[in-house]
Chains A and B, each alone.
Chain A
Amino acid sequence: MMGLTDAFTLVCVVAGALLFLAGTVGLLRFPDTLSRLHALSKADNLGLGLIVLGLLPQQASPMGGVKLVCIWLLAQLSAATASQLIAGIAARRKPQA
C-alpha cells in the first residue's frame, strides 16, 4: 500500500531522472557546442530540482528539507553562472560558433 506522499516522491524523482536522461541524449544529438551547453545546464538542473522536490516529504526533520532546498538553490545559482562563463569562453575562441 503506497501513501500519497510516496506516490508524489516517486513521480517527481522519476521525472527528474528522465530529465537527466534527456540532458545526456541532448549532449549526444545537439549539433553544436553551445546547444549542448543548453542541454546540460537546463535539463540537468531541472532534474536536480525535481529530485529535491520529490525527496522533501521523505525528510526526517524540516531542517533537512530546508537544507535540500538550499543545496538546490546553490546548485542552480552556480550552474547559471558557470554555463554563462563557459559560453563566453566558447564564443571568444570561436567568434561565430
Chain B
Amino acid sequence: MTAPASPRQPLSWPSLLGRGLFFFALWLVLIGAAPKDWPVGLIAAAAATGASIPLWPPESRLSLTGLVRFVLRFLPQAMVAGFDVARRAFARRIAMKPGLVTYRASLRPGMAQGALCAVMSLQPGKLPVSCAASGDMRVHCLDSDASVTAELAADEAAFLRILPGDRSGA
C-alpha cells in the first residue's frame, strides 16, 4: 500500500492500510476474484488510497454507531423522497411552490459539508444549491412553505453524530 507522504503531518499507516484493504475488497467485488488480475487491483487500491488522502485526512475518524443510526434514518427518507416526487408527478394538478430557502449550517466548508449537501440532496423535497464560506446553504425546496429549516437542522444533527469531536469538517 504505497501512498505519497505528506510533508506536513505524519501519516497514520494503520488507518491507510485499512483504507487500502477496503478499496481492494471493493475492487474484488466489482471485477472478480481471479488471482491473475490481482496486480491491477492492488495498483488501483493504492491509487484510490492516495487520492483519498487530500479528500479525507487519515486522522479524522467516524463513529460507527452514529453511522449506523444515520443510515437507518437516511434510507427510509431517501425512499420517501422518491415516492414523494412520484406522487407529485402523477398528481392531477401540480401542487407545489418551488423556492429557495437559506439555512445556516454549523459545519465549515470542506469535505464534511460537501458530504452533508450530497446527503441532503436525497432528502424529500430538498436540494442544496450552494454552500457559502460562512456556512450559509441555499436549499431549493419543492414546497417552500413546509417546515424546512427544522427538518434541515434535524438532518444535520444526525449527520454530526458520525463525526465525533471533529466539527470543523476540513
Contact = CB atoms under 8 A, between A and B. Distances in A.
Interface string B66-80: 000000000000110
Nearest to A43: B85
Interface in B88-142: 88-90, 94, 96, 98, 100, 114, 117-119, 121-122, 124-125, 127-130, 138, 140, 142
Contacts, number: 113
A63 B117 CA distance: 32
Contacts of B79: 46, 49
B30 interface: yes
Contact of B98 (A35, A47, A76): A35
Given A41-B121, A63-B29, A83 B82 contact: no
Contacts of A38: 85, 125, 127, 140, 142
A19 B86 contact: yes
Contacts of A76: 78, 122
A84 interface: yes
A7 to B, nearest CB: 20
A51 interface: no
Contacts of A26: 85-86, 88-89
A97 interface: yes
Given A41-B127, A87-B128, A88-B129, A97 B140 contact: yes
Given A19-B82, A91-B130, A80 B118 contact: yes
Nearest to B28: A63
Contact of A42 (B26, B30, B82): B82
Contacts of A96: 100
B158 interface: no
A61 to B, nearest CB: 11
Q: Among B26, B79, B140, which residue has the most Cβ atoms of chain A within 10 A? A: B140
Interface of A: 18-19, 22-23, 25-26, 29-32, 34-35, 37-39, 41-43, 45-47, 49, 63, 66-67, 70-71, 76-77, 80-81, 83-84, 87-88, 90-92, 96-97
28 contacts: A22-B85, A23-B86, A25-B89, A29-B94, A30-B88, A31-B94, A31-B96, A34-B129, A34-B140, A35-B140, A35-B142, A37-B127, A38-B127, A39-B85, A42-B84, A43-B82, A45-B78, A67-B29, A70-B26, A70-B29, A70-B30, A76-B122, A81-B114, A81-B118, A84-B121, A84-B127, A90-B129, A91-B130
